[in-house]
Amino acid sequence: MSNYLLDKKIIISGGLGLIGTKFVEVCASCGAYVTIADINIDMSNSIVDNLKEKSGNHNIFFQYCDITDPDTINEFLSTYTKKHHTVDALVNNAYPRNRNYGRKFEDVTYEDFCQNLSMHLGGYFYMSKAVALMMMKQRCGNIVNMASIYGFSAPRFDIYRGTNMTMPIEYAAIKGGIISLTKYLASYLGEYNIRVNAISPGGVETNQNESFIKKYSSRVLLGNRMAQTEDISGALIFLLGDHSKYITGHNIIIDGGWSL
């Protein structure tokens, strides 16, 4: 355990997911108080126990929060404030999607398009707004938004050929929107000493189709491989720590050179 983020109070949405669990683990390993805002109540106890053990830090807390529902965000923050009083950082990392998400372009309806934008981009907006209002009163804060390489570069659809996967059009709109939202908020909130940055990862390897992993990896310059979650977490620690205190409005791309 290091002291790099010692006693910083950090809220991480989607902290029970693939990238989120790594984020929680590394922030806690650096001495932070981490509050996970997530909807996955069923898995929360076992994941939190595991993260406490891995990080050697017991200051990891789960609080239910659905970022698509402003009422639960307000309830979340009211409970959070009673316990922790202040907030140093918010990491917008949740990945809400509706049940039709992931369809190819021809099959995406107008309703699904709007709903997924509203859930993900709208959720990041509302979570940022609610927490920024606290930060504006404190006159300090730090927000990190999870974007993606698909927020600024076009998908290459040949890597999905022969699989049941695609890169949904909503995702391009959502992640492009998150990069713009990051710059807007960095500009708007700078005078309150609130920094706002984004991280744009390339694809993280999980249990994707083998031919997809091969095709994707062949385009990656560093190591011809997909990202691992630990490839992403270093940038988060940097952005949350004081060594980046003069950096705002940035988008750190972590893709092994894929998008060059």
Ligand X SMILES: NC(=O)c1ccc[n+]([C@@H]2O[C@H](COP(=O)([O-])OP(=O)(O)OC[C@H]3O[C@@H](n4cnc5c(N)ncnc54)[C@H](O)[C@@H]3O)[C@@H](O)[C@H]2O)c1
Q: Does 25 bind ligand X (CB under 6 A)?
A: no
Pick 1 or 222: Cβ nearer ligand X = 222
> Is 196 near ligand X (CB under 6 A)?
no
Q: Toward ligand X, which CB reaches closer, 5 or 227?
A: 227
Q: Strand, helix or coil at 25?
A: helix
Calpha distance 102→257 (Å, rounded): 25
Question: Can you name the residues that pair with 91 across neighbouring β-strands?
Answer: 12, 144
Residues 152 to 181 in contact with ligand X, rule: CB under 6 A: none
Among 8, 9, 38, 160, binds ligand X (CB under 6 A): 38
Q: What contacts 31, CB < 8 A, 6 or more positions away?
A: 1, 2, 3, 4, 5, 6, 7, 8, 57
Say what angle helices 70-84 and 110-138 make with each other, to 10 degrees. Answer: 30
Candidate segments 2-10, 64-72, 134-142, 235-243, binder of ligand X by CB under 6 A = 64-72
Indicate whether 122 belongs to the interface with ligand X (CB under 6 A). Answer: no
Name the residue nearer to ligand X (CB basis): 33 or 216.
216
40 binds ligand X (CB under 6 A): yes
What are the tokens at 213?
């992993």
Is 234 in a helix, a strand, or coil? helix
Residues 68-97 vs ligand X: string with x where CB under 6 A?
x------------------------xxxx-
Residue 191's identity, in one-letter code, is: E
- Residue with structure tokens 């993260």? 51
Total residues at interface with ligand X (CB under 6 A): 24
Which secondary structure element, helix H or strand E, spans residue 143, and what is its range? strand 141-146
Q: Binder to ligand X among 11, 13, 141, 144 (CB under 6 A)? A: 13
- Would you count residue 102 as binding ligand X (CB under 6 A)? no
Candidate residues 141, 177, 201, 256; the one interacting with ligand X per rule CB under 6 A: 201
Residues 34 and 22 sit within 8 Å (Cβ to Cβ): no
- Tell me which residues touch ligand X (CB under 6 A): 13-14, 16-20, 38-40, 65-68, 93-96, 123, 146, 148, 201, 203-204
